[in-house]
Structure 1
């Protein structure tokens, strides 16, 4: 049985419109209508060329995924969405809400108000096998299409005003590079209009980067998505410990990774988020703190 593509699969929708002689300028208005009208059908969207309706209805769906359940934390700060994909697989997305007015800055009340960050998935499962990650125990199942990535934002936007997006959910984002880039380009355009500086991609730096050249690969990310934030799963300040908890780290020495990140920072002039989960008796001793400080002493980092 043929499956329909998500209307948020930008490249596919654009290609179909071009083949049919339909101006792609109508695409953002389609997305806006679907975003603002839950449960709508594509033939309800107003002001499209007549030839667009049969094409949309025969090849696309407003959404190909559904929210199976929403689990709220007891303090109301987080909400975990379990999302069922068209093929029956599940991924998770998490809304994290915080109030920027909490605490003080310079002895004065902080400005701002409630903000929500969405943590989204890029794959079903993951092949990186990190020992501390539940998704890593699943193994790799499938890549998400770009529309399935964007649909997580659509679902979450109906529950909260999403200000930031972090690719820190299921999967290694850079192992689904084409869909990642396409999805982020949709998110930063109309109607979502997220600023690139409010989107962060977290990566362990997958082994395939070693084959194409890690410096080239990271710089390509900066070239394809300028202004984007990069977060690197470091989790250990020495190669031996890093390989112990992150098997994919065997692909290249830590020294080579840090050289590549320094080159990226020099090129992009952006801080790098360093992720470090403390594991009892593994990477949380005083010597590790000193080693970490030494490793990062030449970097501008966000922690």
Structure 2
């Protein structure tokens, strides 16, 4: 039989309820497993005898295993290949930042190292974005909430995770129930992540965006916009046909009115596709009534998605100047981490590890800084 992950919150709560076991034991179990992922159930002290029976018959501490890890040449990015119980694989990426580098508001940054985990919500993806390697896999399956949380468990044994971004494999809002449940586990004991340090990225699933703030108050929303007009979006993001730009922007207006939170706009820079000055002005006009941070993302070529080319640094800089100077929109340029291990934005596609040419991976602006 297929066992469930003990981090599948809904399932273990239901099973404990049917057995007459108090749910207050569940965080204790999660804490023990998070610290000791290879434990046996009998290792956990002070549980009711009925709890051991339920755990042994229905659950595994972890249903996934860390198949391999690959570190970038500069040691700031680590890609994890995680094998699921059904033999499928997903990838997660740990990105480490030194908050003492550079200045913020003219003052030295406090603190030290902190890590962000880029997490997957599906095996593959059905959105089919033409610039994204994950889309070339097609859609395989949804992850359970427990399988999503287990990525955090695996990563936490490599680095202390401060932020989580759902920007890995899959469209998170197409696996809405499991993602919501997983985030609720991550923000509860023993993980205790702040909702403000969790970001969910979407291509624009409007009906799910409408529910997100009520279900996950405080969690950040990032929208993969990538073009300022509908026809270009449809060319590079086939799913945009189902979520027209006008409807998406109306949905975001309501979301921001209700949440009172910044929205992060992801915009991949594709040479001679969406990176001209006219596109910058169209984007500025589209967003000028919103409270947003626009994140310009260099295109990362990989495998079969070679019909696109990266925008030049000059084009990216000019694009940023238009958004900032003309429309007063806060705009950052993402400096990539993990290109040499195919762990950068848009590069996640399941391959067994191999040697790749070394490319210097530069520090990336952390999502935590963008909120300020």
* Fold match (TM-score > 0.5): yes
Partner of residue 33, structure 1: 32
Partner of residue 227, structure 1: 218
Deviates more, 1:77-86 or 1:254-263: 254-263
1:256 aligns with 2:247: yes
Q: Matches of residues 99-118 of structure 1 in structure 2 within 5 Å?
A: 99-118=98-117
Partner of residue 276, structure 1: 267
Partner of residue 6, structure 1: 5
The Cα shift of 1:85 comes to 0.1
Highest RCO, 1 vs 2 (Cα 8 Å, sep ≥ 6): 2
Provide runs of 4+ in structure 1 moved above 6 Å. Answer: none
Q: What's the CA shift string for 1:144-193, capped at 9, x where partnerless?
A: 00000000000000000000000000000011111011000000000000
Partner of residue 286, structure 1: 277
Question: Partners in 1 of 2:285 and 2:255 — Cα distance?
Answer: 19
The Cα shift of 1:88 comes to 0.2
Q: Figure out how many residues of one structure are paired with residues of the other and give that number.
A: 294
Partner of residue 234, structure 2: 243
Deviates more, 1:288-297 or 1:79-88: 288-297
Q: What's the CA shift string for 1:77-120, capped at 9, x where partnerless?
A: 10000000000000000000001111123433211211100000
SS of residue in 2 equivalent to 1:277: strand
Contact 2:164 2:198 in 1 (8 A): yes
SS of residue in 2 equivalent to 1:171: coil
RMSD: 1.0
Contact 2:121 2:175 in 1 (8 A): yes
Partner of residue 202, structure 2: 203
5+ residue gaps, structure 1: none
**Structure 2 length as normaliser, TM-score?**
0.78
SS of residue in 1 equivalent to 2:49: coil
Partner of residue 140, structure 1: 139
Contact 1:43 1:57 in 2 (8 A): no
Question: Partners in 1 of 2:128 and 2:40 — Cα distance?
Answer: 40
Q: What's the CA shift string for 1:211-265, capped at 9, x where partnerless?
A: xxx3xx3231110100010000000011110100000101132122111111110
Q: Matches of residues 153-192 of structure 1 in structure 2 within 5 Å?
A: 153-192=152-191
Partner of residue 313, structure 2: none
SS of residue in 1 equivalent to 2:47: coil
Question: Partners in 1 of 2:37 and 2:135 — Cα distance?
Answer: 33
Question: Partners in 1 of 2:250 and 2:105 — Cα distance?
Answer: 36
Partner of residue 92, structure 1: 91
1:65 aligns with 2:56: no
